[in-house]
Amino acid sequence: MDNMRHKNGCRNGCCGLCCTRIENFGVAIGKNEILKDVNLHIHCGELTALVGPNGAGKSTLLKAMLGEVKHTGELKFMDEKGIRNGQPLYGYVPQHLNFDSGSPTSVLDLFMASRFRFPAWLYSSRTIREKVAGSLERVKASHLIDRRLGALSGGELQRVLLALALDPVPDLLLLDEPVSGVDQSGMEIFYNTLTQLKENYDLSIILVSHDLDLVLKYADRIALINRTVLSSGTPQEMLDEGKLLKTFGMSWYKGKIEFSRQEEKGDKSV
C-alpha cells in the first residue's frame, strides 16, 4: 500500500528523480571546516551508502541533516504527494549508543521514551506494550521487549534500534555504521532486513559504512565523502571508474574487486 502511494507520487516527478536534495551543506566547528559544498540527491526506495576515510565527516553529515549540528546550505525534501516539505520525518540509528550499560532501562522503556507521551516511569499500559511488541516484530525482535538495553548483544541492539527508527515509518532512514561490532552472520541478517524494509516501505536510506564488501553488495548508490562529495554513482560505476580505489589508496582491495567482477560476469552468462 505504501508502494502504491509512492507510485502516485512518482507522477508528480518526485521519485526516479529524487525525494531529498542536500544542497551546499557545510559544517564548521570553530575554524575547523568539517564539511564543505556537500550536494547529494537521495532517491526514494534506494539505499545510498556514504563511504570515506575516518574523520571524513560522514557522521557529521547525518547529524547536520538531523539538525543536531549547525550547518549552512539547505535540505529540500519532497514527500510522495509532491508537496515540498522542508523537514522530512527521520528515522535514525546511531553509531554507538554510548550509554551506561548498567542502566536499568528496558527495550520497552526506550520505546516509551521515544514514542509516547505517557511517562515511562509511572506505568506501562497493555496497549502501549502491544504497540511496542508490534514495532519490534518488524525486525523479529518482539521477544526482547523486557530485556535491559545493556544486556542485549550488539546485533540485538542494532535490530531494536532499527525497529525504533522505523516507528513511525520515516521518510528518510539514517544509519550510522549500523553493524559495527556485529558478527558476519549478524551483518547479513541486518542488511537483508534492511533490503526488505526498503522495498516494503519504499524508504530512502542513507547508510554510513566502512565495509566495502557489504556496501557493494547491498547499496543502490555510493557517495564517496571526504569533507565534500568526491563522487557518487551506482556501485558498478564507482568500481569502473576506479574512484573507490583511488580515494582509499586500497591497492590491497583491487584483487577483490576484480574477483567480484568476474563473479558478476559469470552470473550474467548463466
Partner 1 sequence: MIGFINDITEYGFLRNAFLAVLLVSPVFGILGTMVVNNRMAFFSDALGHGAFTGIAIGSVLGLLKPIWVAIVFSISFAIIITIVKNRSRSSTDTIIGVFSSTAIAGGLVIMSARGGGFNKYSSYLVGDLLSITLSEIMMLMAVFMGVVVLWLFVFNKVLLISINQSLAASRGVNTLLVEVVFTSAVAVIVTVSIPWVGILIINSMLVLPAAAARNVTINVRQYHLVSVVIAQVSGITGLVLSYYWNTATGATIVIISAFLYFITLAARSRFG
Q: What's the grid cell of residue 229?
A: 562529495
Considering beta carbons, is residue 25 or 216 the nearer one to partner 1?
A: 25
Q: Minimum CB separation from partner 1 for residue 54, in Å?
A: 18
Considering beta carbons, is residue 143 or 254 the nearer one to partner 1?
A: 143
Consecutive H or E run containing 92: strand 90-93
Q: Minimum CB separation from partner 1 for residue 146, in Å?
A: 7
Q: Minimum CB separation from partner 1 for residue 229, in Å?
A: 22
Site residues (vs partner 1, CB under 8 A):
29, 62-63, 66-68, 90-92, 94, 97-100, 102-106, 108-110, 112-114, 116-117, 119-124, 146, 148-149, 161, 164-165, 174
CA distance 18 to 27: 23
Considering beta carbons, is residue 171 or 244 the nearer one to partner 1?
A: 171
CA distance 207 to 165: 13
Considering beta carbons, is residue 103 or 236 the nearer one to partner 1?
A: 103
Q: Minimum CB separation from partner 1 for residue 9, in Å?
A: 23
Considering beta carbons, is residue 72 or 105 the nearer one to partner 1?
A: 105
Q: What's the grid cell of residue 70?
A: 549547525
The amino acid that residue 87 corresponds to is Q
Q: Minimum CB separation from partner 1 for residue 42, in Å?
A: 16
CA distance 173 to 47: 9
Considering beta carbons, is residue 62 or 205 the nearer one to partner 1?
A: 62
Q: Minimum CB separation from partner 1 for residue 30, in Å?
A: 8
Contacts of 34 (CB under 8 A, 6+ apart): 27, 28, 57, 60, 227
3-class secondary structure per residue, 59-85: HHHHHHHHCCCCCEEEEEEECCCCCEC
- Strand ranges inside the chain, DSSP E: 20-29, 32-42, 47-51, 72-77, 90-93, 172-176, 204-208, 221-225, 229-233
